[in-house]
Amino acid sequence: MAEKPKVKLSSNGDYWQACYYDSLGRRRARSLGPKSEISRRQALVLCERLGIELLTQPLKADVGRPPSMAEWIETFITLKPDLGDRAQQSYRKAADKFMDFIGTTTRIDRITATVAAEWFASLSAPQTVKVGQKQVERVLSASTVAHYCRHVRCILNEAVHQGVLPVNPFARIRTQPKKIDRGWVYVNREVFASVLAACRNDGWRCFIALQRFAALRKGEALEARWFMIDWQQRTLTLPESVTKTNQERMVPLDPVLFDLLKACRRDRCDTDFIVPGNQVDRRSGSNQHSRLRVALKKAGVQPWEDLFQTLRRNAVQDFRDKLKDPWAVTAIAGHSEEVERKYYLGRVRQTDMDRITGASKDDCFERLVERWNSLPQEGKDAILAIVNKHADGAK
């Protein structure tokens, strides 16, 4: 059985304090209160309770005064050097939202599960905001509320891992929306071809094609460089420094995407990035959305929800249709099977239903024609040469 830490009572002027030693043998002290309000007998009882607390929670012996929420968010960012700028902004924004509710000076050990639940309820409730001269009532979406709670829970999880908190007050807070809308648009190749034609420059065409055909995230598409492409193997290898998961990923290049990249590389031999910064705004997300909406309007296509995320979802859906191994899909897309199940499995398409019911008997032939049309000319010539060779042998 573990020995209870020794906690001794000492005097610090007009205050009582409890003295003990941490795991490294360093002497620590904790104030118990003024002598005018606490008797010596009461102070000894507090020392006894502190000894029991340090026995049940030994990590507390190494922790001084728990930091405030404002102090801990800075510590959290320091402990996570791999976080990108956008991720840091997301964590800080969520922490600011939470501190608007609890105050910036509130210590994180004072945050209880009840406080977390009350904040969750306040985010979900209608809020009155001023728009121009009018007061408008708005409600945050379930996904936005879950986004804020998920980030705050991660921040406090680090406090648990570092021994600053015994438990996470957000452990029981829902950080995923109850219902995920799976009715996102499927942008087929014909529609997407018209969108590509409506883009203002080749940089924009490569930007959205990398997402639609290679399932790259928006940030990954912006950071992709020409040297990452193996033109012989027709693959794009994203290094750890580019991917969101910090793991190298190899992505096969669709024939349409390969031809587009090859033509753009021929015209832009002096650029390093596939998506040059002088053609696509790399910083402003709102500018990127507005530019894509302009291209959609020019192509006569109705804008869909989650403009860029939908393109990546469509690419993952195409991978699932072509590849039999689910693991290969997740490896190419760069996410886990759990993430794919939650966010990338859309509704069953009518074409899938027709394959089972037999309503579309020519589906295989249509897919064969589509695949043939997507092949480059040298691929078609090679296949025709093999077919003619076998035909001559049969004669």
Tell me: pLDDT of 256 over 80.
yes
pLDDT given at position 91: 93
Tell me: pLDDT of 235 over 90.
yes
Tell me: pLDDT of 213 over 90.
yes
Do 187 and 254 form a contact (C-beta atoms < 8 A)?
Answer: no
Range in 296-305, 321-330, 340-349 with the lowest mean pLDDT: 340-349
What does the mean pLDDT of the chain come to? 84
Higher per-residue confidence, 68 vs 179: 68
pLDDT given at position 238: 92
Tell me: pLDDT of 50 over 90.
no
DSSP letter assigned to residue 335 = S
Do 387 and 372 form a contact (C-beta atoms < 8 A)?
Answer: no
Which residue's entry shows tokens 């009018």? Answer: 134
pLDDT tens readout for residues 6-40: 889 998 888 888 888 877 788 888 888 888 888 99
User: Would you place residue 115 in the very low, low, confident or very high pLDDT band (cuts 50, 70, 90)?
Assistant: very high
Arithmetic mean of pLDDT, 108-122: 91
Q: Comparing C-alpha atoms, which of 61, 98, 55, 54 is closest to residue 76?
A: 98
Do 149 and 176 form a contact (C-beta atoms < 8 A)?
Answer: no
Higher per-residue confidence, 325 vs 236: 236
Domain boundaries, the chain: 8-62, 69-161, 192-341, 355-394
Q: Which of 97-111, 261-275, 376-390 has the highest mean pLDDT?
A: 97-111
The fold of the 192-341 domain, in CATH, is hpI Integrase; Chain A (1.10.443)
Do 264 and 202 form a contact (C-beta atoms < 8 A)?
Answer: yes
Do 225 and 210 form a contact (C-beta atoms < 8 A)?
Answer: no
DSSP letter assigned to residue 105 = T
Range in 161-170, 236-245, 260-269, 380-389 with the lowest mean pLDDT: 380-389
Higher per-residue confidence, 301 vs 60: 301
For 130, the 3-state DSSP assignment is strand
Amino acid at 291: R
List CB contacts of 10: < 8 A, sequence separation 6 or more.
Answer: 16, 17, 18, 19, 29
Q: How far apart are CA 251 and CA 390, in angstroms?
A: 34
Do 202 and 268 form a contact (C-beta atoms < 8 A)?
Answer: yes
Q: How far apart are CA 175 and CA 142, in angstroms?
A: 9
Q: How far is CA 148 from CA 25, 103, 228, in A?
A: 40, 16, 35
pLDDT tens readout for residues 217-226: 998 999 999 9
User: Would you place residue 153 in the very low, low, confident or very high pLDDT band (cuts 50, 70, 90)?
Assistant: very high
pLDDT given at position 365: 59
Do 229 and 253 form a contact (C-beta atoms < 8 A)?
Answer: yes
Tell me: pLDDT of 131 over 90.
no
Higher per-residue confidence, 353 vs 161: 161
Q: How far is CA 185 from CA 126, 177, 214, 217, 307, in A?
A: 29, 20, 18, 17, 10
User: Would you place residue 237 in the very low, low, confident or very high pLDDT band (cuts 50, 70, 90)?
Assistant: very high
List CB contacts of 159: < 8 A, sequence separation 6 or more.
Answer: 72, 76, 108, 165, 168
Do 163 and 59 form a contact (C-beta atoms < 8 A)?
Answer: yes
Q: Comparing C-alpha atoms, which of 147, 106, 104, 103 is closest to residue 123?
A: 147
For 135, the 3-state DSSP assignment is strand
Do 8 and 48 form a contact (C-beta atoms < 8 A)?
Answer: no
User: Would you place residue 120 in the very low, low, confident or very high pLDDT band (cuts 50, 70, 90)?
Assistant: very high
The DSSP bridge pattern shows strands 15-21 and 8-12 to be antiparallel
User: Would you place residue 366 in the very low, low, confident or very high pLDDT band (cuts 50, 70, 90)?
Assistant: low
Our measurement of the distance from residue 128's CA atom to the centroid of its chain's CA atoms, rounded to an integer in Å, reads 29
Arithmetic mean of pLDDT, 36-49: 90
Amino acid at 85: D
Region of residue 234 (left: phi > 0; alpha: psi -120 to 50; beta: else): left
CA dihedral of 199, 201, 203, 209, whole degrees rounded to 10: 30
Torsions phi, psi for 263 (to 5 deg): -70, -40
Higher per-residue confidence, 371 vs 151: 151
Q: How far apart are CA 184 and CA 305, in angstroms?
A: 7
User: Would you place residue 244 in the very low, low, confident or very high pLDDT band (cuts 50, 70, 90)?
Assistant: confident
pLDDT tens readout for residues 192-211: 999 999 988 888 999 999 99
pTM assigned to the model? 0.62
